[in-house]
Structures are given as C-alpha cells and as structure tokens.
Amino acid sequence: MIRFILILSISLFFAGSSWAKEVITFGYLSDPSHEAVMWALKNGKVKSDLIEVQADALQIPALIQATISQTYDVVQTAGMAIPRARSKGLDLRIIGTALRYHKAGEGADIWVKKDSPLQSAADLKGKKLAVYSLGSSGITLIRIALANSHGFNVDLKGGDIEFVEMPPPGMPAALESGTIDAATLIHSQAFKAQNTDAFRSIVSTAPDNYKTFGVRMVSAVLAGYGKKLDSKPELHREFLRMLHASVEYAKSNSDEVFNSVATETGTNVEFFNRWFSEYSNFPVLMNDEDMRAIQTLWDQAKELGMLKESPDIKETMWSETLMAGQ
C-alpha cells in the first residue's frame, strides 16, 4: 500500500510538472489592428503544450522604454532600435518581422486639416510636423522619403521642417487647433482620418520609398535578448509559431476576429479589412526582402546622419530566426 501511494505521488508530481508551462512575456503596440493580430492567441484558439504567453499592449513611449529596460522576453520594437541598442552594449536581436508596409502604402501619410492651405509636400517647408517618436522607424522612413523624393533637408536642427514629438492621441486635436500644421497619423488614426471630412492627406511616404528602393519597407521588428534566446531557444521558437498562427487565424477567420475586436475597441470593422489588405502585414516570419528593407533603412539613416553606424543585418539576427518558407 505504501509503495502504491509512493508511485502515485511520483506520477502526480511529474504530471503536475508537465502542466507548469514556461511563460514568455511579450510587449506589443497598443492599437486595434494589433488586437486583431493577438486575438486568437489571447482567446485560446492557438495553444501550446510548452509555453504560456503573457502579452501587454503598450503605447510607443512605453514600448521604447520596455525595449531598453528588457521588461519583456520579446518586444515589438522599431527597426531603428536594434543598431542603437547594440551600440550601447545591449544584445538585442531580431527574431521576426512585425510590420511590413503593403505596396499600397496606406497608413504612412502626412495629414493636414481639410481647410489647410498646405496642398502638397512642397508646402511643408518651414512648417510644424507632429511625429509620434523621432527615434521610431516609421518616422525615420518618413524623413527618408521627404529627403529622397521631395528634396527636403530633414535635419532636426536647421532643417526645412520643424519636427514636433507628440503622443498620437493628441494629434487630431492639435491639427484642429492649429498648434501644428501637419501630422503623421498611423494605423487606426489614419483610417479615421480617411473616413472623416476633417482631414486630408498631402503626402504618401510608403509608396515614395517603394519607388526609390524597390522593397516594401519594414517599420517594426520582433526582438529578443541574447542571453534569454540562447538559454531557451525552444521557447522562443514556440512563441513565434504561436504568434504566426494567431495572425493566420485572423486572416482565415476575419468575420469572427474583426467583429469581436471591433466591438471590444469601438472601432469600425472595415478598418481591419483595410489594415490587413492595404496598410501593413504582420508576417512574423522574415523573408529576404525584409532583410534588404531593414538594411536599406539603416544605410539611409546613416547617410542622413540619423545613425552613427549601419551594422550588417546578418550580425543582428538571432541564429534561429524563422524564415518564410522554412
């Protein structure tokens, strides 16, 4: 009897151990589009026997801080954050692609009030342009487009445009009041601007960059930290599998996911159809074009004085990054 109890206890111990999953924490951008990306993962449609994912939606300033402070195991961060972090000794590695612009390039425009005298990019000279973060890849790509496609000096001091950092939620009101002349509205804000009479676009920078460089630019990546990646690679591979599966679920079950998130966030359901088809991809898995796009971003940023060094992207990638087609 004692032997039976002992065997049973050992069996329960090991069974219990198998139930104790490892936790991978993830910080991602707070926007309704990303809630659609995460919906299947958060609602039990994507499961794992190996890990549990704990995810937090963060505004851009908080994401930047989380990247530096290593708050999460994996973070969605600006492509520009990689060389900057590594130059300061932080072993931040690319493990996947978060945001890849569509060829249509919507969602990376510069907006003005409907009755603004500004009619085109040329009219931005000497004006105040609100941006959500000067250190972000999205704003760097906008500055690159303004320099290469429109001939602007985009230096922060003494340049042709006055760049004003501002939290995204405050930009529409600032445009309305005239505090700023133009603004970079992204994701759900861009959709709202497209569907109101209050604002209009005067520059589409994503198509500008596509024409110049021939690749769909990448504004955000998935990144992890060297020690964690090296110590538990199987957990990070499983996280990437789950996140990719969540994206694919959203695309394959769009009515279910988009209607649910639209209700939860108070967002027009049509936004999600537009975002997935004309704004951005959230591919997770990288491809060769993504690598060229990120390298181009860094090379251009260095040429324009936004980066001191442009590293070889191959040296910044996790050795076990999942590539499309693998």
| Number of DSSP helices (H) and strands (E) in the chain, helices first | 13, 11
pLDDT digits (tens, 9 = 90+) for 123-182: 999 999 999 888 889 899 999 999 999 999 999 999 999 999 998 889 999 999 999 999
pLDDT digits (tens, 9 = 90+) for 61-109: 899 899 999 999 999 999 999 999 999 999 999 999 999 988 767 778 9
HEC states along 46-81? CCCCCEEEEEEEECHHHHHHHHHHCCCCEEEEECCH
Closest CA to 188 of 243, 134, 132, 238: 132
For 21-102+218-315, CATH gives: 3.40.190.10
Full-model pTM:
0.88
Asked whether 213 and 116 are in contact (CB, 8 A), the reply is no
List % helix, strand, coil for the chain (3-state, nearest 5): 50, 20, 30
**Domain residues of the chain, as ranges?**
21-102+218-315, 109-213
pLDDT digits (tens, 9 = 90+) for 9-64: 444 444 444 468 999 999 999 999 999 999 999 999 999 999 999 999 999 889 98
109-213 is classed CATH 3.40.190.10: yes
Question: What confidence category does residue 185 fall into, taking pLDDT thresholds of 50, 70 and 90?
Answer: confident
Q: Do domains 21-102+218-315 and 109-213 have the same CATH topology?
A: yes
Asked whether 161 and 202 are in contact (CB, 8 A), the reply is no
